Chains A and B, each alone.
Chain A
Amino acid sequence: MVLSINGDKHEVTVDPDVELLIVLRDYIGLTGTKYGCGEGACGACTVLVNGNITRSCITPVNSVAGKEITTIEGLEKNGELHAVQEAFLATDAFQCSYCASGMIMAAVALLKHNPSPSENAIVNAMNTNICRCGTYPYIVKAIQLAAKS
């Protein structure tokens, strides 16, 4: 099976029903995407598939073959951070940061669809991502900052 991840082609030999999260982390070595709950309820495993938010922990890998997968590792281009990452860096939003990859990917997708979201729109879009450290207000600020840039 050939996967297109962050612009690169990866050939993997794996059962078709294995979750994308496991393939990304254990087979391809892209460990920026995290396991949090295994049921698509916390958002730690969020990646983009053809630009859309996807919970990789409940996505069978064969369903994304041939599609463009973007993970946190794919945001930085030639040593330059994505504008959303820059905004999170400037806000110093996270604490333990385990939720960071999922939060940032969800924010990237949100801003792509809605470049200047209201606070309400941010809360609604991000509500399926959990930060147990409780940094939510800083995450909202970071997304607002990213929207401005």
Chain B
Amino acid sequence: MKNPDHLQHPFEPMTDELPPEPGYHFILDRRKFLALTGGGLVVAFVLRDMLSFSGETLSPGNSQVPVSGVGAWIHISEDGKVTVYTGKVEVGQNIRTSLAQLVAEELMVPLSSITMIMGDTDLVPYDAGTFGSRTTPQMGPQLRKAAATAREALLEMAAKNWNTTAGNLKAENGMIVNAATNKKIGYGELTKGQQLLIPISDNVQLIATKDWKVAGKTVPKINERNFITGKHQYVSDMKLPGMLYGKVLRAPSYGAKLLDADVTKASKIPGVVVVKDENFIGVAAPDVKTAIKALEAIDAKWEENKGHPSNENIFDYLVKNARGESGGRNADDTKGNVEQGLTEAEFKHSKTYNIHYIAHVPLEPRAAVAEWIDGKLTVWTGTQRPFGVQQELADVFKMSKEKVRVIMPDTGSGYGGKHSGEAAIEAARLSKEAKKPVKLVWTREEEFTWAYFRPGGVIDVSAGVKKDGTITAWKFNNYNSGGAGLATPYKIGNQKIAHLPSNTPLKQGSYRGLAATANVFARESHMTDLARLIKMDQLEFRLKNLEDDRLIAVLQAAAKSFGWNGPKTQGHGFGIAGGFEKGGYVGCCAEVMINGDKEVKVVRITQAFDCGAIVNPHHLEQQAMGSIIQGLGGALFETVQFANGKILNSGLSSYRVPRFSDIPKIEIVLIDRKDIPSAGAGEACIVGVAPAIRNAIVDATGITLNTLPMLPNGALA
């Protein structure tokens, strides 16, 4: 049976968020590659089983490598410096640091000798993007294998030089050492004058996780000093010689049609370039104030769309507009007979859970700097998908991808919200016309209005349970949120689970944890309600119905550290929730306090997290912390308010995100499973927060809150 959580695609392509995936068939020229990396080197190509099925062998004489077979590469220069090339990008998750740790571990070099070249489409191999918690489980092992291959090659080279066998030698701190003769040679020296391309073998021996010395340890963020001194150049900080500042004319509401625009006045402002191209109107000016003035000088007439729903009636709208697609990835997940299961139940419980649209709010809004030189377009932009944006640009400007370079400097966060290339396209269009570099930084209002949101949704759940805690039926319909986290980990013989896409009135797309936050909220809320129906402890009921050892372990670890069975102050409540997402297992306990005015305060959250072998404990804890805190916003008060095709709270004074004073005491229990490959850590920890808080409120008051956010005004009604 198809499990919607285990579909082939590593992420959910959602409405309008992404253009179709590009197909890559072109060939990387070896000479071009060597020119990129310079002379005297050892290179380990990572080939995804490419050699085995093509029957091809790679040697220094081989000239071409299919790009589709290359995942990442590592280069060791004559001076011993190591450069790692990967299409993954740094958005604050500190993957630059943890991938470097994995390479340092396998290659036996100091961390400081490694430079990570990331997300530059001219320099790194194709990569679909940094999303879905895929970097650690996919890129991590590839780089480990590449580094281990390079290490073994260096050992072989030294053995040949010294007329011995590699078994007598060891790699240590960037050198090959012969302990018997006390001979040492640096990697750089060893490779001098040679050009080697080495394919990796899948059989290469990796350092066992339990023997890790650099990986598995807390090391600080790479280049951290640049970030705390203001020296790091985000895209929005860049300035190129002669650069202009761009602005784009926005529609007054979603779906508004441009009828007519008079740009004469704007064009007459000295230094201003106006572009009017079909429905695109933009300006570029020597400074941002002039660009704003030019935009204001444009007289545009729009025909606005009527009949948009608002956040007041959105849930009815999503159900009524369900598209009824039931095939493919939206096929029902059915087991047993759910109607029969309901008749067998001693208690039945049905509820509708509603999820409002929320925004990512990356603190650095979308930004791009574009420059055309001799027909080649270069765009620096903050995106989680540099190659995706390269394709978007190639499509829009009808040119080959080789003529488009996208560079992604470490950016001011994404949370799944920077998959698309709007700012890149806009800056490039203006720059093409102006024949000068153009920088375009979205305002906060633009980011709130013209980016995409986490989908709103409606989830209907009907379940049956017996007094002994056996769940007899589970019927789960999700309208519009998405398929992630749809499946239930509990033992239920009769179930019918479906995702029903709807016509979203707002642009929607990926968001940290995807729909799992919505689906786990509905599921775990319902589980606690069922436990209460049969007067069983929330945790005990879950454990009774679970088989997955890792999920059981995180629930127990969270409960233990939290003091689940400990004393509870009058007016306080305890709640629990658990889930599995993107290879990570999470158990979450929450304590709330309700005062006389029915104000709810989240007192503390204890979360246990297992995502396999830990690569960097501090950065992992930060990812868990970030997920919990971001989860608090969507759980308690974040809502995109909209009506008549307009976003009504498009600023940070009106759209509330968590602040210092919103943060309860948070305890994170990391479970280091050295026996299990590392999974990504940026998403799973968001899913348990809302239901754990909701269940704590039920525990304290008996009141069931079934809409996210639960407490927009901070108090129970």
- Which residue numbers of A lie inside 8 Å of B, CB to CB? 15, 18, 22, 25-26, 29-39, 41-42, 44, 71-73, 75-76, 81, 85, 88-89, 92, 94-101, 104, 122-124, 126-140
Asked if residues B666 and A92 are in contact (CB atoms below 8 Å), the reply is no
A25 to B362 Cα, complex, angstroms:
20
B678 within 8 A of partner (CB): no
The complex places the Cα of A92 from the Cα of B412 at a distance, in Å, of: 16
Please name all residues of chain A whose beta carbon is closer than 8 Å to the beta carbon of B626 when the two chains form the complex: 95, 133-135
Of B221, B363, B441, which is within 8 A of A44 by CB? B363
Does B411 lie within 8 Å of A38, measured CB to CB?
A: no
Interface check B413, CB cutoff 8 A: yes
Cα–Cα, bound, A128→B652 (Å) = 11
Shortest Cβ-Cβ A-B pairs, 5 listed: A32-B230, A96-B92, A134-B629, A98-B412, A31-B237
A127 to B657, CA, bound (A): 11
What is the chain A residue whose CB lies nearest that of B448?
A: A37
Report the Cα distance A133→B660, complex, angstroms. Answer: 12
Interface residues of B (CB under 8 A from A): 91-94, 218, 220-221, 224-225, 227-234, 236-237, 239, 245, 287-289, 361-365, 410-413, 415, 441, 443-445, 618-619, 622-623, 625-630, 651-653, 657-661, 663, 666
**Would you call A123 and B230 a contact (CB within 8 A)?**
no
Q: Quick check: B657 and A132 within 8 Å, CB to CB?
A: yes
B230 cross-chain contacts in A, Cβ below 8 A: 30-33, 71-73, 100-101
- Contact between B364 and A34 (Cβ–Cβ < 8 Å)? yes
Bound: A34/B363 CA distance, A: 9
Q: B630 contacts A132, CB within 8 Å?
A: yes
Interface centre among B288, B441, B660, B663 (most CB of A within 10 A): B660
- Name the prevailing secondary structure of the A interface residues: loop
- Check A42 against B629 for contact (C-beta < 8 Å): no
User: From B367, which residue of chain A is reached at the shortest CB distance?
Assistant: A35
- Of A38, A104, A123, the residue contacting B660 (CB under 8 A) is A123
CA distance A97 to B630 in the complex (A): 16
With A34-B234, A38-B651, A98-B412 given, name 10 new contacts (CB 8 A). A18-B289, A37-B651, A39-B444, A41-B652, A81-B228, A81-B229, A89-B228, A130-B652, A132-B415, A133-B626
Question: Which of these, B227, B629, B660, B666, contacts A126 with CB under 8 Å?
Answer: B660
CB closest residue in chain A, given B286: A26
Residue contacts A-B, CB under 8 angstroms, 5 given: A26-B245, A37-B652, A81-B229, A97-B232, A126-B660
Is A39's CB under 8 angstroms from B652's CB?
Answer: yes
Chain B residues with CB under 8 A of A25: 237
A89 with B652: CB separation less than 8 A: no
Q: How far is the CB of A1 from chain B (nearest CB, A)?
A: 15
Which residue of chain A is the closest to B218 with respect to CB atoms? A92
Distance of A50 from chain B, by nearest CB (Å) = 20
